[in-house]
Structure 1
Amino acid sequence: MTENSEKDDFSTAEELEAKRAFTTGENFHARKLLGLHKLGNGQYRFRVWAPNAEKVWVVGDFNDWQVTDVMTCDGSCGIWEATLSTPKPGDLYKFRIQQKGGNVIDKFDPFSVKFEKRPNNAAEIYTLQEKKWKDGLWHARKKRSNYFRRPLNIYEVHSSSWRHHDDGTPYSFSDLKETLIPYVKEMGYTHIEFMPLMEHPLGASWGYQLTGYFALSASYGTPEEFQDFVEACHLQNIGVLLDWVPGHFSVNNDALAYYDGTPQFEYTDPDRAKNIRWGSLNFDLGKPQVQSFLISSLLFWLETFHVDGIRVDAVSNMIYRDYDEGPWLPNHEGGNRNLEGYYFLQKLNAVVKKDYPEALMIAEESSSETQVTGLIETGALGFDFKWNMGWMNDVLRFYEMDPIHRKHHFELVTFSFMYMLNEHYILPLSHDEVVHGKKSLMHKMWGDRYKQFAQLRNLYTFMMTHPGKKLLFMGSEWGQFLEWKYDEGLEWVDLDDALNHAMQQFTRQLNQFYKDERALWELDDVWETLEVIDADNREESVLSFIRHGKRKTDFLIVILNMTPVERRGFTIGVPYKGTYREVFNTEMAEFGGTWQSHNPDCVSQPQAFKQYTETISTTVPALGVIILKPEKIKVTRKRTSGKGAGES
């Protein structure tokens, strides 16, 4: 954001154009028009969109919350306006609206960038100053990189429950700057993804029922603190992603809900407006002013805070009329697609990519009926990445299972190889999987405590070696046993335990291994990245495959043992004659396992195994994973074709 964006210095012609564009869904910087702006003469101008209101006043500390400051309406666009000289910085204010039908209610400013702390929600007289950013090198590097073929390993964070002070208060972003950033850097993650930071009235919603779409929640600190946090991340080569919720919003009466007494932000049809599943209201995504509002919100976070990308929450709710639990009607074509939501998301991604081509646009979407990632011109929604919910559900179901039954359900860990490039995927082990009685990732694992840690290491290694980008929720990196609690800090005391501490160090080394090994991300978006060695060994429940880099000699062999039985003399096919060295073993003592040393190097033998003419034999630890790398090989074999990803 430029320093002028907080000031209302429009010419008459510019103001008319800004209002016209807002009403046609083309004003993507609507916060420069609406909300609160300081004028050059020290006065403040207030503007609010309330097209069906009968009267509107500005009320606040500066007029004792009385209806003395009346706003006037531009009837052509439904925007009310007042210019006042009495407010001073720090004063609180709202808009008192006589809604259609005569009801009078105080509403918050939808375009405010700063509110008082919840449960109160008055906006603050506040001017966001221009920041002189120092992260130019970070952004220059982003422009030169292809994020589809770069490592992307995300640490998902709920900012107010990552860590608490001794008195129980959560860390602010000033605190997180000094603690979270060094921790993420030490642990080897490439990005932090925050659950919604925008203003919301109830902590129990985790931020997914928003009110202030342009405001950092006052509970988390000031906008300047968050700007400084993002800058500090970039100086440490860490990206920052934000969750954002454009599909539905809070039902609170003093917020967006039926703002002017009519369906203003929500659908006119009450069945479409009501979101039963989340107890919220759905945006009317076909209304031009709503499109201007939402797209302006997203661009505001990219511009003002230099964040590197946005994860759009609950996309399925936006693109399917029958996603919710209530009654629904087909669209005019007779189908279940919410055409307004579909075209809005295409428009959103097109606008973002025009101005910020390097910004990551990520979708949380659980169906397979709509192409989410890819070019809009081909009918896709235009996102860069999609959470792979199918992989997540399948693998967690598999790892929760008693190993004696896993041979009967082996497709749960192999089926994703068949569709791994249908979209550009992120493999998420997210906050949704460690709440509401689902148990923590550690607690989901089968067996006694030792076996649970062994399987957690196995699971994380499978995620890291499976094609796709990665995401892990905070606390899972050391195997926190308790479910996540949004109003408490993580169980850092766990790290006094030797196994939890070893698990944390395992995750750190696995993250670094992922970044170091180009074969795990260099060809992440092409079928040649994966070559299945053996996906048919159900009886022993051992899965083996190869991840390829660009060079023929740059590849890794991954062998996962899904049972508590050590496999000695275990034989698999290999692509080339030569020597293979074990470079990673999840059962090393330093990780909490029992192995004191790695397997000896494997020398291939001329023996047929499926499509291979050479084999190696080694020991695969119980519930463990080993990764081998070619040490000395003779490249005489033509690489398996792209069909290898689906072969068995």
Structure 2
Amino acid sequence: MAKRNTTTSANNTASVQTEQLVQPTVPQAVTDEPAQTGPSGTYSRFTDFDIHLFRSGTHYKLYEKFGSHVVEHNGVIGTYFAVWAPSARYVSVIGNFNGWNKGSHPMNVRWDSSGIWEIFIPHTGRGEAYKYFIVHESGRELEKGDPYAHWWEIPPQTASIVWDTYYEWQDQEWMTGRGTKNALDAPISVYEVHLSSWRRDPSNPERELSYGEIADALVPYVQDMGFTHVEFMPVMQYPYAPSWGYQITGYYAPSSRFGTPQDFMRLIEKLHQAGIGVLLDWVPSHFPGDAHGLYEFDGSHLYEHPDRRRGYHPDWKSYIFNYSRPEVRSFLLSNALFWLDRCHVDGLRVDAVASMLYLDYSRNVGEWEPNIFGGRENLEAISLFKELNQAIYKEYPDVQTIAEESTAFPGVSRPVYTGGLGFGMKWMMGWMNDTLRYFERDPAFRKFHQDNLTFSTVYAFTENFMLPLSHDEVVYGKNSLINKMPGDEWQRFANLRLLFSYMFTHSGTKLLFMGGEFGQTSEWKFDASLDWHLLEFAPHKGMAACVKALNTLYRTEPALYERNFTADGFEWIDTMDRENSIVTYARKGNRPEDTLLIVLNMTPVPRADYRVGVPSAGSYQEIFNSDAKEFYGGGISNPNALQSLEEKWHGRPQSIRLNVPPLGAVVLKKSNY
């Protein structure tokens, strides 16, 4: 029986989401693509060179070949379909246009043993819902969505939709100059966002906002808060909302939950027009076993590794790509470049890198197979990362790739030519764990654990580190950031302001998950809006003001970003005052006059007339204080310039005396030279 679908045919005037469907037209994006003709006269978009690259694992633009493309062929407008299914004995396109008839539009398998099936179907076009009906060599029958589709039905519907990625971009100013904004010596402060739960319709909390509605609210908010970049948790098509987007079935499509691909592009464009960069979470580590997805795509283990020891992920109950198969490598490499090419994104944060690097990740003895040298490293995944980063930085030298990697694997953010993996940055998971563990302690006992803070600088410059306080720290019983802090209400907010102050003045770029910036009290829920009403209350309003001020400080003080990844940009002044739980350090830029002095008091006891050794003689002015009254602090500050005296302290010939607020951070800068 024909399957019913909600998406309408392109041959009538019903609407799909926000766009009015019309008679099929040829998008400009594909009209220039030369057609190839095989021996049987079959229309094809593949050249012999395409096939060579695909089969060698080095094709970086498969999205121009596979999938569905509206084209004109022999004077007739229709849609070209192409799919890889080498273990199939029969493949057809089924959809609304043929009543989901499995036999009406059989595809032609290419003559070159590539396993690619193709067909041109006249008088079909943009907006058609479709799937591939596949019969495996064994006779097993499957119905699969298109791995290269650019748009899908809204879950729980599972069909792909004929669509394109044509968009007339209006972000040329950003694209031309973004190299300076995305550079490693630029301030990079990232606001991590989950599109479904950042904000929902106030009149109907069950309704997710569209890409356009998100843009209208998110762009001015991020701009006002002073973040330089937004990172979206996975926006690729995912069927299961509780996966947060990390179980992907449509790698080449923005989620249809929020609108069309063009709606998504418009969101990126508006962020760019506001001077805000866009990073995407990218998941090459695993995919789900949904019947319409990549798993056993043609009845065989096509995309996943056939050996369960390498092909199944026990933590996520999902399937691992076969990184040794050239065609799968081409799929992943093309996908990474797709988002940079067609969607103008400024970088990719690569999820779960550690799970890909090690064959024994989350596996017991006997559950994994060593590599050919007897080691635990996944050599194929390592080579994929190297090729991925080389390809990205060659084609897009003004973007960044960022690894979520939680081990001590060497050289993650070092160039491939020096033996590294080639990422631009790496999440500093050790800093995150040590810092949260320290701040969760009662201040009375912090003096016994000061090494939790100082240890990070032992290895801080072995990689280009990003400091993350991400979604993973505020879910499933982990508590919100504000409720991790000890003490009464005032102390909890002071502690969190202090933590953020430490984060923004520590070496490395920054990432903060949504809600943390105003002290969200409840744990993050993927299906509910953040508690925006909290901003009506002074503690939360003060927290937001503090984060905004920290972003301003970070962006305007070169000492906090010019030497983010080198040891000469950071200097401990004192780490030995354990009794008072005070640490002091300096941050340095390219000019000596930009040097900053940072003093952190980790206890609720104010310290008046506290002496600190200074980097050089001069008059020091307080430029930031986390205890400011506008931040819901007590207002203990240093309103007047502090002149250094020839009193040796902390091994330095000059020192100053200042007021250090309780659970507070003070940042000072020399005001005369």
**Shared fold per TM-score greater than 0.5:** yes
2:89 aligned to which of 45, 54, 75:
54
Superposition CA RMSD, Å: 1.5
Deviation at 1:145, TM superposition (A): 6.0
Judge which range, 245-254 or 342-351, deviates more.
245-254
* Unaligned 5+ runs, structure 2: 1-26, 39-45
* Paired letter, 1:143: G
1:458 aligned to which of 498, 511, 514:
498
Deviation at 1:600, TM superposition (A): 3.2
Deviation at 1:344, TM superposition (A): 0.4
Distance 2:127 2:69 in 1: 14
| 1:182 correspondence with 2:214 | no
**Partner of residue 109, structure 2:** 73
**SS at 2:88 equivalent:** coil
1:295 aligned to which of 333, 358, 362:
333
Distance 1:482 1:371 in 2: 37
| 1:365 correspondence with 2:410 | no
**Deviations along 1:358-390, whole A, 9 cap, x unmatched?**
111111000012310011011110000000000
Distance 2:173 2:379 in 1: 40
| 1:139 correspondence with 2:179 | no
Judge which range, 66-75 or 224-233, deviates more.
66-75
Distance 2:451 2:533 in 1: 38
**Partner of residue 220, structure 1:** 258
**SS at 2:354 equivalent:** helix
2:67 aligned to which of 35, 54, 78:
35
Distance 1:3 1:628 in 2: 56
Any conservation in 1 of the 2:109–2:116 contact (CA below 8 Å)? Answer: yes
Residues 397-436 of structure 1: pairs in structure 2 closer than 5 A: 397-436=437-476
| 1:396 correspondence with 2:428 | no
| 1:508 correspondence with 2:544 | no
Distance 2:105 2:33 in 1: 19
Distance 1:71 1:366 in 2: 45
2:509 aligned to which of 461, 469, 473:
469
| 1:202 correspondence with 2:240 | yes
Distance 1:160 1:537 in 2: 46
C-alpha distance 627-6 of structure 1, shift in aligned 2 (>3 A): farther
Deviation at 1:263, TM superposition (A): 1.1
C-alpha distance 395-198 of structure 1, shift in aligned 2 (>3 A): same
Residues 89-168 of structure 1: pairs in structure 2 closer than 5 A: 89-129=126-166, 131-144=167-180, 147-165=183-201, 166-168=203-205
**Partner of residue 99, structure 2:** 64
**Partner of residue 302, structure 2:** 264
Distance 2:189 2:500 in 1: 12
Distance 1:575 1:224 in 2: 53
Any conservation in 2 of the 1:62–1:88 contact (CA below 8 Å)? Answer: no
Any conservation in 1 of the 2:284–2:321 contact (CA below 8 Å)? Answer: yes
Deviation at 1:462, TM superposition (A): 0.2
C-alpha distance 573-507 of structure 1, shift in aligned 2 (>3 A): same
C-alpha distance 600-561 of structure 1, shift in aligned 2 (>3 A): same
**Partner of residue 548, structure 1:** 588
Residues 614-625 of structure 1: pairs in structure 2 closer than 5 A: 614-625=654-665
Any conservation in 2 of the 1:6–1:37 contact (CA below 8 Å)? Answer: no
**Deviations along 1:10-42, whole A, 9 cap, x unmatched?**
335952221221111121111111111112121
| 1:336 correspondence with 2:384 | no
Any conservation in 1 of the 2:182–2:400 contact (CA below 8 Å)? Answer: no
Any conservation in 2 of the 1:401–1:446 contact (CA below 8 Å)? Answer: yes
**Partner of residue 35, structure 2:** 10
**SS at 2:267 equivalent:** helix
Distance 1:504 1:224 in 2: 32
Deviation at 1:597, TM superposition (A): 5.4
Using structure 2 for the length normalisation, give the TM-score.
0.92
Judge which range, 382-391 or 528-537, deviates more.
528-537
**Deviations along 1:406-461, whole A, 9 cap, x unmatched?**
11111111111111110001000000000011001001001111100000000000
1:609 aligned to which of 632, 649, 652:
649
**How many pairs does the alignment contain?**
631
2:273 aligned to which of 224, 235, 238:
235
C-alpha distance 145-195 of structure 1, shift in aligned 2 (>3 A): closer
Deviation at 1:357, TM superposition (A): 0.8
**SS at 2:191 equivalent:** strand
**Deviations along 1:555-601, whole A, 9 cap, x unmatched?**
11100000111111211111222221111111111100111654432
2:209 aligned to which of 171, 177, 193:
171
**SS at 1:58 equivalent:** strand
**Partner of residue 387, structure 1:** 427
**Deviations along 1:469-503, whole A, 9 cap, x unmatched?**
00100011000110011001110011111111111
* Paired letter, 1:550: N
Any conservation in 2 of the 1:8–1:33 contact (CA below 8 Å)? Answer: no
Deviation at 1:531, TM superposition (A): 1.3
Distance 1:567 1:610 in 2: 17
Deviation at 1:7, TM superposition (A): 7.3
**SS at 1:278 equivalent:** coil
Distance 1:146 1:471 in 2: 14
Any conservation in 2 of the 1:8–1:37 contact (CA below 8 Å)? Answer: no
* Paired letter, 2:264: F
1:523 aligned to which of 563, 566, 580:
563
Distance 2:402 2:593 in 1: 33
**Partner of residue 24, structure 1:** 56
* Paired letter, 1:120: Q
**Partner of residue 355, structure 2:** 317
1:274 aligned to which of 298, 312, 315:
312
